[in-house]
Structure 1
Amino acid sequence: MSGVAYEDHVDLERSLARTVRKRSMRLLGSLLRPMRWRFALMLALVAAAQAAKAAGPLFVAFVIDTGLPQLTAGDPAGVLGAGLGYITVAFAGGLLMFWSIRLSARIAQAVLFELRRRVFRHTQRLSLEFHETYTSGRIIARQTSDLDAVRELLDSGVNQLLSGLLFMVFVAVMLLFLDPWSGLVLVAASVPVALLTRWFHVRSQLHYRSTRVASSRLIVQFVETMAGNRAVQAFHRERHDIARHRELADDYRLTDQRAVGLIGVYNPGLVLIGNVTVAAVLAVDGYRVFAGELSVGVLIAALLYAKRFFAPVQEMAQFYNSLQSSVAALEKISGLLEEEPSVAAPARPVALPRASGRIDFDGVRFGYTPGADVIPGLDLRIPAGQIVALVGTTGAGKSTVAKLVARFYDTTEGQVRLDGIDVRDLAFSDLRRAVVMVTQESFLFSGTIAENIAIGRPSASPDDIRAAARAVGADRFIDRLPDGIDTDVHKRGGRLSAGQRQLVSFARAFLADPAVIILDEATASLDLPSEAIVQRGLATLLEGRTALVIAHRLSTVESADRVIVLQGGRVAEDDSPAALLAAGGEYAALHAAWRASTDQQANAASDT
């Protein structure tokens, strides 16, 4: 890379860093804005507490220069008054600090609650495209380690940072008031402190951002390995994944080590500047005391102030690790919250209280990436109540057509219409009520069977839930379970077989009572006996509804009113199953291959 190109690259990185920092500060400001009065009170309490803390050496100077001579003359009032004042100020400072810490903790918890709510709510409203590209491990990292880093900042970091800065300001002001020359020595010493802090700030920002990236990668790999543990064991990937985890963990260790290593330069630098400053104050003021220009009490107070001035800087240096980590985490969270849904809600939705189920594709073109169309141009008419099977080889565009109907994605060109209304003009509540998709995964949430069925219509009564289970034939296995419909399905429905999970998902869809049902490989993971049971429930589910059935297993297709064969996102064949079989085209070839595969499975089962 040439020198000019490198400078341009550096400038670009700095510009991006500034943009990210502004975005993070906007987020933090929006979180604190509702609590601005409480935050202002906390700031006032911290300021008062640090002012009280910084006042101590003034009493020392008074006692030495005024109180002790008065005491020698037989008047103890000065010493007693200064002692009482010192104790009063110290007690008030401690009380104010206690109050500020409690208030700071309440503000921190309120901010974290709002931030967690925002992250969860925002990820819920983001489109399917986001969730298919942004890994679950990264989202978990945002909700766990990143939020924990922000919590550490808000719990004690903000209070500690404000306390340190304000204490340094008050010390400098009080020393300037007590003795301007000593104060100027302290001000001069703050210049190398500021330069050293700036150096540390710039480098630690880069290192801690790398640390957050390395941490996120480690969490992503761990989550994906645990979630895919069955595949890991099936393909004997344990050694590979252990090696990969070790590589990522080592990368995290090295990036964190580099970040922490900066403290090894910063802390000793502060100690050196502090000691040199104390020595300078002692030399300058000691000479002035010898010359009779300065009292001993002021000399001692100046030394106390000089020593105390650097204590908060060293404490803040220790805190800087968590501060930079928290800032990097806040940048990640703000980046997530900046993501916009690729499928936006309509500004003026068209009402569709009850759909009939007619679907039209008019000149639809769509691709997941620019310039690579999966659907290059599709015109299609599906009357209400018709069961349409979409078949074709892998990559033909079957699932894409279904996702466009459900509006998980928006078309690049053309329109997908439901009952004559562009799906982009329908409110999500109306569209989701009218169109329900049942996939191969049959995802069940932790909870009872009844709770999982009720997802289709949360307001349903227990009788409605049981009726839905009975309608699709799920009651046959539910009645044999220990707690019936109140049986806990365990995590991801692990207590039930694949066929049973599919019947529960059918009951859920039946209870939702949509106008359009989309079945995306709904029986692909089932064995033949389970498929036969599910097919009976499927017939009930599809009755009287518009249905798009996507299946490689053509047993589901045989009961369809119409079969559409897709090739490269275009309609290659379109007719009834019997007519397409008789025509001997693409569908007939697919059907023959499926029949041969089914016979082979049946023979293998009988041999077993």
Structure 2
Amino acid sequence: MTTTAPRPPEVDDHDAGLTPAQVRARSLGLLASLLRPVARRAWLTALVVVVAQLALVAGPALVAVGIDRGLPALRGGDAGPLLLVAGGYALTALVAGVFTAATVRMAATVSQAVLLDLRRRVFRHTQRLSLEFHERYTSGRIISRQTSDLDALRELLDGGVTTLAASGLAMVFTATGLVLLDWRSGLVLLVAVVPGVVLTRWFQVRSQVQYRRSRTAVARVIVRFVETMTGIRAVQAFRRERQVAQVYEAEAEEYRAANAEAIRVNGVFDTGLVLIGNVTVAAVLLVGGLRVLDGALDVGVLVAAVLYARRFFAPLAQIGMFYNSFQSATAALEKLSGLLAQEPTVPDPARPVRLREPAGDVRFAGVEFGYRDGPSVLPRLDLHVPAGQTVALVGETGAGKSTVAKLLARFYDPREGAVLLDGVDLRDVDPRDLRTAMVMVTQEAYLFSGSVAANIALGRPGATRAEIEAAARAVGVHDLVASLPDGYDTEVDTRGVRLSAGQRQLVSFARAFLADPAVLVLDEATSSLDIPGEQLVQDGLRTLLTGRTAVVIAHRLSTVMHADRVLVVDGGRVTEDGSPAELVAAGDRFAELHRQWQDSLRSA
């Protein structure tokens, strides 16, 4: 039985409520801001394109002059006109070649400057966006913005725009040159343009559908691949490789089918243009040939007319192909502009208040909070944690404990009320001071590629090796690190996979030690530690928590029992508040949890 999985959304939710015209206007605004710094180079590139196309179009006209003027003069003993025409032809070919090469180089310079600017904007802006955005915007979609969407723009900018300009100018100059040489042949060409335009329009409509289908399909494939590889441990643990592969293969097959249909449409378009072009050449040759026999048309003009007719439809094919890139790039630009239009839900303060020496006094004053438009997770929370006090939050899953931690770390802002640090609303605290004053350690001990020392130093980038080692000793991870092949210089690889979950957590603890915050938030931070590992970290925790404010969220009562104060949270409300000993003596919910913990220790 095949397991199905929900498909990624086709439309980003940041486009919800916008009309197509508004989305286009936003995209054009982004494009204009990207092109503004390179405007001079872009106009210079356009000028080079004009010169290159003029040189190319001059070729058939020179052929006509050579046949009708140069050859008769040569028969009369005067080789000068023919040599002059030959030299002119060689010169125009050289100019066309040089300027075409210059066009490629200059277009690449402009496009790479634009893409570099856009990559920087996307990366920096994505980092600025609040946790709420990242929790609902899948990592696969973010990767798609930085990869396939930017690649679509690159294909357009690297050669698409210059190809469109060159093709359009080539058609205009070709038609103009033919009309100037012989307006009757030009009329035949203009008549042939009608079926060519109809075919091109048919191709545009069909390709628009197919390329949007292809873009949607490739985005799904990327998202599915990234999410599967991110969750590969769960996939392998539950032996779901075959089912997940079936889902992936179905989406890959849809991508293949979309590409196959796009190729079929391209084939019909190319074949149709070749047919129209050949019929046009035949018509020009027939009409012109009859006139040559009647003496009404020079042979050289007929040759030039045939050359112009052959050249005319090649740019039309390129324009049709450009439309594919244009559609793909338009869709990509819409998504990128939508991403860049996102505003952080936790904005920086307009007038930040500095906290140069934070004491760590924390207060939740009438805080009400819910995620997005959902119901309240914290109906109303009034809580004061004096500086230097360690408070532990316990309760069932979903009771609101982690929400308290996220509000305290200012990953979210409350709907009502305020979270205060040393009497200052967190919404007014300078972000630099807030991140220095407060550190949050979660159960996801994320380590970046690099050395162990570099990962610990993330807490204080300017720390010395001695300070890094002191922090590691404090949490009991020094001996482990020293036993690694290269000690503190050992590479931990992507996400720290060379270390166990408990070891990664200990490294993240050392990082927090080194940061030396006034307020420490531990959100299930000991959940990945085994019993020996937990025993190692308890002494380090006591050292760390001494003299600073701490909010500890943990299911393990071994951590909770060291707290000065315990809050039992249920449905976003504090139902019990007191020291561990007081709550055990009270005989309520915490006492029951404590009894269960003691029983588990005895049974172990």
Common fold: TM-score over 0.5? yes
Q: Distance in 2 between matches of 1:227 and 1:404?
A: 27
| Corresponding residue of 1:8 | none
Q: CA deviation at 1:581?
A: 0.9
Q: Give the match's secondary structure for 1:555.
A: helix
Query: Which amino acid is 1:163 matched to?
Result: A
| Corresponding residue of 1:221 | 224
1:58-457 mapped onto 2 (5 Å cutoff):
58-318=61-321, 320-457=323-460
Query: Which amino acid is 1:376 matched to?
Result: P
1:576 aligned to which of 576, 579, 598: 579
Q: Is the 8 A contact 2:203 2:320 kept in 1?
A: no
Q: Is the 8 A contact 2:360 2:421 kept in 1?
A: yes
1:540 aligned to which of 543, 552, 556: 543
Q: CA deviation at 1:322?
A: 4.2
Query: Which amino acid is 2:32 matched to?
Result: G
Query: Which amino acid is 1:439 matched to?
Result: T
1:468-547 mapped onto 2 (5 Å cutoff):
468-547=471-550
Q: CA deviation at 1:122?
A: 1.6
Q: Is the 8 A contact 1:349 1:426 kept in 2?
A: yes
| Corresponding residue of 1:559 | 562
- State the Cα deviation string for residues 38-93 of structure 1 (Å, max 9, x = none): 11111111111111011111111112222222222222221111111101110111
| Corresponding residue of 1:6 | none
Q: Give the match's secondary structure for 2:450.
A: coil
Q: Distance in 2 between matches of 1:15 and 1:421?
A: 38
Query: Which amino acid is 1:430 matched to?
Result: D
Given the two structures, how large is their TM-score scaled by the length of structure 1? 0.92
Q: Is the 8 A contact 1:267 1:317 kept in 2?
A: no
- 1:336 and 1:599, CA in 2 relative to 1: closer, same or farther beyond 3 A? farther
- 1:471 and 1:278, CA in 2 relative to 1: closer, same or farther beyond 3 A? same
Query: Which amino acid is 1:433 matched to?
Result: T
| Corresponding residue of 1:35 | 38
Q: Distance in 2 between matches of 1:299 and 1:482?
A: 81
Query: Which amino acid is 1:44 matched to?
Result: L
Q: Distance in 2 between matches of 1:448 and 1:498?
A: 17
Unaligned runs of at least 5 residues, structure 1: 1-11, 603-608
- State the Cα deviation string for residues 407-461 of structure 1 (Å, max 9, x = none): 1111111111111111111222111111110011111111111111110111122
Given the two structures, how large is their TM-score scaled by the length of structure 2? 0.93
- 1:445 and 1:156, CA in 2 relative to 1: closer, same or farther beyond 3 A? same
Q: Is the 8 A contact 1:390 1:550 kept in 2?
A: yes
Q: CA deviation at 1:189?
A: 3.2
Q: Distance in 2 between matches of 1:453 and 1:86?
A: 69
Q: Is the 8 A contact 1:141 1:219 kept in 2?
A: yes
Q: Is the 8 A contact 2:52 2:95 kept in 1?
A: yes
Query: Which amino acid is 2:508 matched to?
Result: S
- State the Cα deviation string for residues 501-546 of structure 1 (Å, max 9, x = none): 2222111111111111000001112221111111111111111111
Q: CA deviation at 1:109?
A: 2.2
- Answer with 532-541 or 17-26: which moved more: 17-26
Q: Percent identity?
A: 60
| Corresponding residue of 2:4 | none
Q: CA deviation at 1:374?
A: 0.7
Q: Give the match's secondary structure for 1:446.
A: coil
Q: Is the 8 A contact 1:66 1:78 kept in 2?
A: yes
- 1:156 and 1:371, CA in 2 relative to 1: closer, same or farther beyond 3 A? closer
Q: CA deviation at 1:14?
A: 14
Q: Is the 8 A contact 1:387 1:562 kept in 2?
A: yes
- State the Cα deviation string for residues 380-405 of structure 1 (Å, max 9, x = none): 11111110111110110000011011
Q: Give the match's secondary structure for 1:376.
A: strand
Q: Distance in 1 between matches of 2:257 and 2:19?
A: 24
Q: CA deviation at 1:371?
A: 4.0
- State the Cα deviation string for residues 449-476 of structure 1 (Å, max 9, x = none): 1111110111122222222222323223
Q: Is the 8 A contact 2:449 2:491 kept in 1?
A: yes
Q: Give the match's secondary structure for 1:345.
A: coil
- State the Cα deviation string for residues 536-563 of structure 1 (Å, max 9, x = none): 1111111111111001111111011111
Q: Distance in 2 between matches of 1:262 and 1:248?
A: 21
Q: Is the 8 A contact 2:171 2:312 kept in 1?
A: yes
Q: Distance in 2 between matches of 1:597 and 1:221?
A: 41
Q: Distance in 2 between matches of 1:362 and 1:259?
A: 60
Q: CA deviation at 1:173?
A: 2.0
Q: CA deviation at 1:138?
A: 1.6
- Answer with 261-270 or 128-137: which moved more: 261-270
| Corresponding residue of 1:9 | none
Q: Distance in 1 between matches of 2:295 and 2:124?
A: 70
Q: Distance in 1 between matches of 2:20 and 2:373?
A: 28
Q: CA deviation at 1:318?
A: 4.5
- Answer with 339-348 or 155-164: which moved more: 155-164
Q: Is the 8 A contact 1:289 1:296 kept in 2?
A: yes
Q: Is the 8 A contact 2:505 2:529 kept in 1?
A: no
Q: CA deviation at 1:316?
A: 4.0
Q: Count matched residues.
A: 590
